[in-house]
A and B are shown apart, each in its own frame.
Chain A
């Protein structure tokens, strides 16, 4: 095990290399630029290829091309670049191309502030492209070390599910320096829970089976298997077809291969002080969860019966965590409330759902504890600007 004081971007790069990634295409954008830079330095050292693309749309398409040729490939960006992925993301979902896509969130909308963290793409990670009839998988780490773990995991899931898998980080995690351990051999990888799935080649003739089955190798070109891949509704052999029945089979697979196999990744969450049915469950993901965890520990010391639930697997949304009727407080880095809507949908009808949003900065420990106290005492929530509201 090697230890470093390094950034999340460094951790993601090393994680990708450990997972077998040998192709990265990207376009400079704060705060994902350093990841591209670190890939351009590290990939050639291990025989991998870094390409700078003319835009994010081309970057992800290049990754698709490389993946179709047999490479494990990855691209990374921030929100304003992520929207240019809409086109290739849909292609990769439809054509079942394994890829890893990283989004380092910054405050928006549009360009917003380059150097401030944000969580405005919660729903964009679920709906990264148009058309519907698909499920996505998204993982959200909250530290540099976990950035590495989730990058490795994303590659693993991408291969097994035959689809692009996204990692949603934010500016504080990817740019911040932290203590990072990098495993140096397979035993150390196993010890750290890192799973790796090798790239194989689908031999056909059924390239797009109409089942929810996993572990079907992806379609790879250049092996003369007669493989076809396109953005059209495919027959099982890959030919394009304009028939609703064929589209039913296609859509069924894209949705249910994920929904029916959630057990492979639904252990990706973290609970703190949740064993004694707390009166208030604080829900978060990414960087704010670090402040939440501290606040919950502090609140417990003050005798407040508060627990913390941190989501790592964001999509498909893990409804099972919200089956208890209680009070919930959802903490997010936005003012419009995104995760809170999903919690509201998943929780029992008469649960009390509250929202604490911050815009461009983290919530403070004091503001969190004040919110816990008020919610637990059923006091009317004093509305401080947009910060705290009864949802």
Chain B
């Protein structure tokens, strides 16, 4: 679902296969998307794809887009340090976090955006630790503070609206991240909802999502564009190359 949203955004923008280098991570989000793009692609070790992408960003021509489809464990757990530094440096990449509400490819353990109270294989009594989903601890607020220039949240059911957001994310020449929770009927839903019926988990997520500004008491995911400072800060690779060029020519900065 999320993958379709991203591919549709790429298509709508008129980008070609050659315009994009696609990176993926480990887990459901990574395994489901690696090698599905017909152009060049890579898969990073768990959580490190942002560091690889920063090195690659230096080497690629600026017009090439880097799109990363990653999971919530990858981005907000093991890779958060690297993610924050990618945001800090404003490296041009579009990170799509396909959030299936925990570590599902290992059977269904809680993650850092798993709704509080959820029962998972590693939180059989309910997830009681604070997660990265509320107030200033919201992962999007952390990334805003770290300097990201485009941040948004959508649920997979947002369809055409999410496509429009992803288009804007790709157009930002800097660090963009779109957080997109999507349903996992196999593990998350079977434990938390006691049902593998896809309709139930779709409904469960949809009922807990609301557009920003229209949140209800039980809203978990406030959807829409959280932060749009597109093209407001120097892009990482451009800054590095301009700096290097100046030092090379003049011997100083």
Chain A residues close to B by CB (< 8 Å): 23, 25, 43-49, 51, 53-55, 57-59, 61-71, 73, 87-88, 90-91, 221-232, 238-240
Contact (Cβ within 8 A) A226 B39: yes
Q: Given A58-B82, A222-B61, A228-B35, is A69 in contact with B45 using a C-beta cutoff of 8 Å?
A: no
Residues in A with CB closer than 8 Å to B40 are 221-228
Q: Nearest chain-B residue to A68 (Cβ)?
A: B56
Contact (Cβ within 8 A) B56 A47: no
Contact of A65 among B24, B57, B243 (CB under 8 A): B57
Q: Of the listed stretches B47-55, B124-132, B135-143, B165-173, name the one at the interface; the rest are far from the partner chain.
A: B47-55
Q: Given A51-B240, A226-B38, A226-B40, is A58 in contact with B48 using a C-beta cutoff of 8 Å?
A: yes
Residue B198, interface by CB 8 Å: no
Q: Given A91-B45, A221-B40, is A66 in contact with B55 using a C-beta cutoff of 8 Å?
A: yes
Residue B60, interface by CB 8 Å: yes
Contact of B244 among A49, A55, A57 (CB under 8 A): A49
Contact (Cβ within 8 A) B44 A71: no
Q: Given A23-B59, A49-B58, A65-B58, is A230 in contact with B42 using a C-beta cutoff of 8 Å?
A: yes
Contact (Cβ within 8 A) A44 B248: yes
Q: Given A23-B59, A25-B55, A58-B85, is A47 in contact with B44 using a C-beta cutoff of 8 Å?
A: no
Residues in A with CB closer than 8 Å to B26 are 231
Q: Nearest chain-B residue to A221 (Cβ)?
A: B40
Residues in B with CB closer than 8 Å to A59 are 51
Distance in angstroms between the alpha carbons of A47 and B251 in the assembled complex: 11
Residues in B with CB closer than 8 Å to A224 are 17-18, 39-40
Q: Given A65-B55, A66-B56, is A45 in contact with B251 using a C-beta cutoff of 8 Å?
A: yes
Distance in angstroms between the alpha carbons of A197 and B22 in the assembled complex: 29
Contact (Cβ within 8 A) B38 A69: no
Residues in B with CB closer than 8 Å to A58 are 48, 51, 81-82, 85
Q: Is the interface of A mostly helix, strand, loop or mixed?
A: mixed
Distance in angstroms between the alpha carbons of A43 and B245 in the assembled complex: 11
Distance in angstroms between the alpha carbons of A45 and B251 in the assembled complex: 7
Residues in A with CB closer than 8 Å to B85 are 53-54, 58
How many chain-B residues does the 8 Å CB contact rule pick out?
Answer: 40
Q: Rank and list the top 5 A-B pairs by shortest CB-CB distance, nearest first.
A: A69-B59, A65-B55, A230-B43, A62-B55, A61-B51
Contact (Cβ within 8 A) A221 B34: no
Residues in A with CB closer than 8 Å to B45 are 61, 87-88, 90-91, 231
Residues in B with CB closer than 8 Å to A73 are 55
Q: Nearest chain-A residue to B244 (Cβ)?
A: A44
Residue B64, interface by CB 8 Å: yes
Residues in B with CB closer than 8 Å to A63 are 55
Contact (Cβ within 8 A) A70 B81: no
Distance in angstroms between the alpha carbons of A53 and B51 in the assembled complex: 9
Contact (Cβ within 8 A) B58 A68: no
Contact of A239 among B35, B39, B53, B81 (CB under 8 A): B35
Contact of B248 among A46, A68, A90 (CB under 8 A): A46
Tell me the chain B residues, 70-118 only, with Cβ under 8 Å from chain A: 81-82, 85
Distance in angstroms between the alpha carbons of A25 and B82 in the assembled complex: 14
Beyond A68-B42, A68-B55, A71-B58, 17 extra complex contacts between A and B, CB < 8 Å = A23-B59, A25-B55, A47-B245, A49-B58, A57-B51, A62-B52, A62-B58, A65-B52, A65-B59, A66-B55, A73-B55, A221-B41, A226-B40, A228-B35, A230-B24, A238-B35, A240-B35
Residue B15, interface by CB 8 Å: no
Contact (Cβ within 8 A) A240 B56: no
Residues in A with CB closer than 8 Å to B56 are 65-66, 68-69, 221-222
Q: Nearest chain-A residue to B61 (Cβ)?
A: A222
Residue B247, interface by CB 8 Å: yes
Q: How many Å from the CB of A135 to the closest CB on chain B?
A: 20
Q: How many Å from the CB of A199 to the closest CB on chain B?
A: 11
Q: How many Å from the CB of A26 to the closest CB on chain B?
A: 12
Q: How many Å from the CB of A279 to the closest CB on chain B?
A: 50
Residue B184, interface by CB 8 Å: no
Contact (Cβ within 8 A) A61 B21: no
Give the interface centre of B18, B38, B48 by most chain A CB atoms within 10 Å. B48
Contact (Cβ within 8 A) A240 B44: no
Contact of B59 among A55, A70, A231 (CB under 8 A): A70
Residues in A with CB closer than 8 Å to B245 are 47
Q: Nearest chain-B residue to A223 (Cβ)?
A: B40
Distance in angstroms between the alpha carbons of A42 and B51 in the assembled complex: 23
Q: Given A44-B243, A45-B248, A49-B58, is A231 in contact with B51 using a C-beta cutoff of 8 Å?
A: no
Contact (Cβ within 8 A) A61 B81: no
Contact (Cβ within 8 A) A57 B48: yes
Residues in B with CB closer than 8 Å to A45 are 247-248, 251
Contact (Cβ within 8 A) A55 B55: no
Residues in A with CB closer than 8 Å to B244 are 43-44, 47-49
